[in-house]
């Protein structure tokens, strides 16, 4: 079943959202800070060990009810089912968006375009496991049996941000002798730095590009491969050390990559949703396949919750509705995500592409211009560092901002005093950022997303929850979240200038 995008302001519930917003703004103006003490503002998903505390949002029980009514009018549950079931939700490109299938169990069956995609997914996972196992057992080596010490992922956008985030977040679980590098920018500085420190015979290269047409990726690969050859690797030795992940295998072969070393991707996986596919190969290679699998299992657990939980108890749905409330109804221009955990220091980079490339659009797929705000500008970083940078603006600046503070309850280290200080800061900032300051009514709309502990499973749940949040924001706002026509013009103009 396929759904047309319905503009949010054509919903029968749109006017009730507008009056709820006006009422809330009056309450804030008259009473100062709005404290929503309704227990429903805290969504605790006990079985997943994750809780969203929305008690510092500009929301009361009646406004939350209006949001739920709006979600029903926009058929969000049916749209979720269509997304997970393989319907053609990407209308402009006539594709499904089946990233959920990438973490589905072997026993599942998800049919898209007349084909069950689950066997394809599991055949690729098996290949990833083979490679990771061979590397960790010392069977996958460089030229002349040289042990591999370095892995270079060459890719950009979705072919970079997901695996870069995960490898960084889980680096404590990786063996010391394997380093992973991410080369994305076309600026030659990155390639030059790598060429200064790598030994070609001890390095594996992964060229990750869904289209295999991306200028940055092709140029970086060309430069590094030319350097390897000039440093003494033979063409066949180099070929054995290069892998590609792509939905265009013919283009990768034409580039010189051995057919056996090409792992598939499919049109129904969007780049920014692709870390679960072979795009995650650097994760599996660095951490070992088991950790990658744990991350997939975490994502699958969140998928199950998303698929089954009632609208009112559904975490990704709640996150999406809060984003619509803050960004579209209350018109807050930006959303700041601050992780109170060093392991999530790259989270916001990943989230920026996920949310803004997906929902930074002003038209429905059928071309109708939208008369309301769509994606917020997403930014943020790391607590407590950023308290000493832009938090001044959040506290006393002139713009209202919605804020997510992410924290982990149990530390994974023995520095207990640090963790107490870290969580005290997160808690203090949640209150401080939400409060009225210096006569400014309202402060910011703050959520605290709290995870019991942090491991590959939790990371999988977290990323999956945000993926679903993004898809449901788009579905509610009448946007196709799965294409990115706006990035093409810049590529064409740069290509023309390069040739001029
Ligand atoms: O420029 C946008 C984009 O198309 C992203 O959507 C994508 O993740 C990135 O470029 C990289 O594309 P590819 O994987 O095809 O090289």
pLDDT, residue 39, reads 67
Q: Is any atom of ligand 1 closer than 6 Å to the C-beta of 485?
A: no
Distances (CA, A) of 272 to 159, 282, 318, 375, 470: 8, 16, 21, 16, 11
Are 343 and 168 in contact by the 8 Å Cβ rule? The answer is yes
Are 169 and 455 in contact by the 8 Å Cβ rule? The answer is no
Across 53-59, average pLDDT: 91
| Span 187-236, pLDDT tens digits | 999 999 999 999 999 999 999 999 999 999 999 999 999 999 999 999 99
Share of the chain above pLDDT 70, in %: 96
The number of the ligand 1 atom at minimal distance from the alpha carbon of 488 is 1
Cα 204 to middle of ligand 1, angstroms: 22
C-alpha span between 24 and 94 (Å, rounded): 41
Across 64-76, average pLDDT: 96
| Span 86-131, pLDDT tens digits | 988 998 888 999 999 999 999 999 998 899 999 999 999 999 999 9
C-alpha span between 399 and 265 (Å, rounded): 42
C-alpha span between 329 and 64 (Å, rounded): 12
pLDDT, residue 32, reads 65
Select the more confidently predicted residue: 29 or 284.
284
What is the distance, to the nearest Å, from the Cα of residue 440 to the centroid of all Cα atoms in its chain? 33
Beta strand residue intervals within 364-456, DSSP E: 377-382, 401-408, 445-451
Site of tokens 């227990």: 39
Across 368-376, average pLDDT: 95
- pTM greater than the 0.95 cutoff: yes
> To test ligand 1's pocket by mutation, which of 92, 157, 217, 265 has the most ligand atoms within 8 angstroms of CB?
157
Residue 262 reports pLDDT greater than 90: yes
355, 357, 400, 467: the active-site residue:
357
pLDDT confidence bin for 36, thresholds 50/70/90: low
pLDDT, residue 240, reads 98
pLDDT, residue 6, reads 84
Residue whose Cα lies nearest atom 5 of ligand 1: it is 157
Across 263-274, average pLDDT: 97
| Span 270-317, pLDDT tens digits | 999 999 999 999 999 999 999 999 999 999 999 999 999 999 999 999
Residue 365 reports pLDDT greater than 80: no
Select the more confidently predicted residue: 56 or 184.
184
> To test ligand 1's pocket by mutation, which of 159, 216, 483 has the most ligand atoms within 8 angstroms of CB?
159
C-alpha span between 375 and 393 (Å, rounded): 21
177, 197, 388, 413: the active-site residue:
388
Select the more confidently predicted residue: 440 or 355.
355
Cα 271 to middle of ligand 1, angstroms: 6
Are 185 and 161 in contact by the 8 Å Cβ rule? The answer is no
Q: Is any atom of ligand 1 closer than 6 Å to the C-beta of 410?
A: no
pLDDT confidence bin for 33, thresholds 50/70/90: low
Write down all domains in the chain, each with its CATH number in brackets: 8-73+309-487 (3.40.50.10490), 101-291 (3.40.50.10490)
Across 359-383, average pLDDT: 94
Helices (H) then strands (E): counts for the chain: 18, 13
State the chain's mean pLDDT as an integer: 94
Across 18-24, average pLDDT: 94
The number of the ligand 1 atom at minimal distance from the alpha carbon of 279 is 14
pLDDT, residue 150, reads 98
| Span 398-439, pLDDT tens digits | 899 999 999 999 999 999 999 999 999 999 999 999 874 445
C-alpha span between 192 and 37 (Å, rounded): 55
Residue 74 reports pLDDT greater than 70: yes
Q: Which two tokens mark 16? A: 């009730």
The number of the ligand 1 atom at minimal distance from the alpha carbon of 274 is 8
What contacts 449, CB < 8 A, 6 or more positions away? 50, 51, 52, 53, 404, 405, 406, 407
The answer to whether residue 357 is catalytic is yes
What are residue 336's phi and psi, to 5 degrees? -110, 125
Residue 42: which H helix or E strand, with range?
strand 42-45
pLDDT, residue 169, reads 98
């Amino acid at each position: 079943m396929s759904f047309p995008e319905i503009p949010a302001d054509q919903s029968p519930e749109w006017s009730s959202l507008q009056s709820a917003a006006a009422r809330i703004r009056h309450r804030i103006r008259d009473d100062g800070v709005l404290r929503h003490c309704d227990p429903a503002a805290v969504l605790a998903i006990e079985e997943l060990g994750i809780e969203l505390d929305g008690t510092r949002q500009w929301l009361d029980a009646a406004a939350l009810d209006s949001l739920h009514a709006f979600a029903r009018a926009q058929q969000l549950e049916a749209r979720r089912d269509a997304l997970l079931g393989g319907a053609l939700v990407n209308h402009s490109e006539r594709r499904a968006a089946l990233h959920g299938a990438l973490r589905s169990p072997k026993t599942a069956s998800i049919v898209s375009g007349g084909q069950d995609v689950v066997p394809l997914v599991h055949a690729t996972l098996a290949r990833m496991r083979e490679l990771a196992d061979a590397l960790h057992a010392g069977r996958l080596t460089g030229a002349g049996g040289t042990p591999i010490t370095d892995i270079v992922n060459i890719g950009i956008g979705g072919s970079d941000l997901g695996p870069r985030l995960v490898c960084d977040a889980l680096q404590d679980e990786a063996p010391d002798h394997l380093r992973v590098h991410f080369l994305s920018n076309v600026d030659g500085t990155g390639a030059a730095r790598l060429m200064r420190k790598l030994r070609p015979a001890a390095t594996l290269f992964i060229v990750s590009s869904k289209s295999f047409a991306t200028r940055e990726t092709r140029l970086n690969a060309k430069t590094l491969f030319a350097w390897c050859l000039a440093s003494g690797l033979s063409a066949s030795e180099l070929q054995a050390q290069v892998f590609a992940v792509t939905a265009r295998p013919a283009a990768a072969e034409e580039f010189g990559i051995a057919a056996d070393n090409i792992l598939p991707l499919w049109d129904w996986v969007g780049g920014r949703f692709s870390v679960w596919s072979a795009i995650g190969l650097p994760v599996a290679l660095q951490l070992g396949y088991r950790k990658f699998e744990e991350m997939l299992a975490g994502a699958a657990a969140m998928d199950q919750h998303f698929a089954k939980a009632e609208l009112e108890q559904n975490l990704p749905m709640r996150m999406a509705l809060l984003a619509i409330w803050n960004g579209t109804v209350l018109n807050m221009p930006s959303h700041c995500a601050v992780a109170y955990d060093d392991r999530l220091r790259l989270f916001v980079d990943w989230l920026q592409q996920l949310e803004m490339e997906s929902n930074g659009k002003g038209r429905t797929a059928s071309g109708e211009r939208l008369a309301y705000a769509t994606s917020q500008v997403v930014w943020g970083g790391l607590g407590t560092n950023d308290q000493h940078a832009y938090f001044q603006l959040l506290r006393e600046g002139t713009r209202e901002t919605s804020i997510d503070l992410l924290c982990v309850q149990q530390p994974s280290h023995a520095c207990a005093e640090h963790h107490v200080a870290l969580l005290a800061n997160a808690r203090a900032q949640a209150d401080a950022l939400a409060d009225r300051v210096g006569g400014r009514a309202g402060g910011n709309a703050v959520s605290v997303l709290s995870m019991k502990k942090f491991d590959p499973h939790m990371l999988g749940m977290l990323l999956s929850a945000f993926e679903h949040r993004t898809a449901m924001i788009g579905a509610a706002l009448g946007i196709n979240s799965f294409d990115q026509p706006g990035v093409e013009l810049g590529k064409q103009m740069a290509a023309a200038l390069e040739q001029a």
